[in-house]
Amino acid sequence: MKLLILDRDGVINYDSDAYIKSVEEWIPLPGSIEAIAQLSKAGWTVAVATNQSGIARGYYDLATLDAMHARLRELVAEQGGEVGLIVYCPHGPDEGCDCRKPKPGMLKTIAQHYNVALTNVWFVGDSLGDLEAAKAVDSHPVLVKTGKGEKTQAKTLPVGTLIFDDLAAIAAELIHN
Ligand SMILES: O=P(O)(O)OC[C@@H](O)[C@H]1O[C@@H](OP(=O)(O)O)[C@@H](O)[C@@H](O)[C@@H]1O
Ligand SMILES: [Mg+2]
Ligand SMILES: [Zn+2]
């Protein structure tokens, strides 16, 4: 099974230090919807693992979060593709949950859902926590320069981290190689 796991904010859509608090604030990055659709049509299952501490912080509710994800699915479907399982961590940094990245709980949930191993599955993120979560379960950490990616690139990255400009570049690599 060709499985690709994506972080959401800063990879699929623009991120904000003020959090993405509404469907109106959820704006796809250039080429990201097309990239997901092309990957899907090329036989890839594209899943999402996203920290959403804004829920715990009271910035938005689960219905709003679901509406953002419905919008993502709608836009990809319009391009003939589909989005796989979307897993989110609604908890705050101090709740000690098992799902908040850099913990790998969400990646494990996705692997269990599809009954596949995570070894070398690419997990694409813009934050160091994304890359650390990947490393924790022997997935392949992949950094994009969108969102917080350029700032993250200046940090010490897990060994083997691949770096791409954006999700479109990743899709081109996976589809054409
Ligand atoms: O990149 P993903 O995982 O899809 O989502 C990140 C968001 O949940 C938010 O995560 C927050 O981090 P804290 O949760 O406050 O540490 C901040 O970085 C926000 O800017 C960001 O929008
Ligand atoms: Mg992110
Ligand atoms: Zn959690």
Residue 58 CA to residue 174 CA, distance in Å, equals 38
Residue 131 CA to residue 115 CA, distance in Å, equals 22
Residue 177 CA to residue 175 CA, distance in Å, equals 6
- Average pLDDT of every residue of the chain: 98
Residue 77, classed as helix, strand or coil, is helix
Residue 70 CA to residue 169 CA, distance in Å, equals 25
ipTM over 0.95: yes
Active site residue 94: no
Report whether pLDDT(70) > 90: yes
| pLDDT tens digits, one per residue of 102-157 | 999 999 999 999 999 999 999 999 999 999 999 999 999 999 999 999 999 999 99
Residue 148 CA to residue 125 CA, distance in Å, equals 9
Residue 124 CA to residue 9 CA, distance in Å, equals 11
Which protein residues have a CB closer than 5 Å to ligand 2 (ion)? Answer: 7, 9-10, 126-127
Active site residue 61: no
Residue nearest (by alpha carbon) to ligand 1 atom 15: 53
Query: Which atom of ligand 1 lies at the shortest distance from residue 52's CA?
Result: 8
Residue 141, classed as helix, strand or coil, is strand
pTM over cut 0.95: yes
Ligand 1 centroid, distance to 111 Cα (angstroms): 22
Cα 123 to Cα 80, 102, 131, distances in angstroms:
23, 12, 7
For ligand 1, residues with CB inside 6 Å are 7-10, 15-17, 19-20, 50-54, 93, 127
pLDDT for 177 equals 84
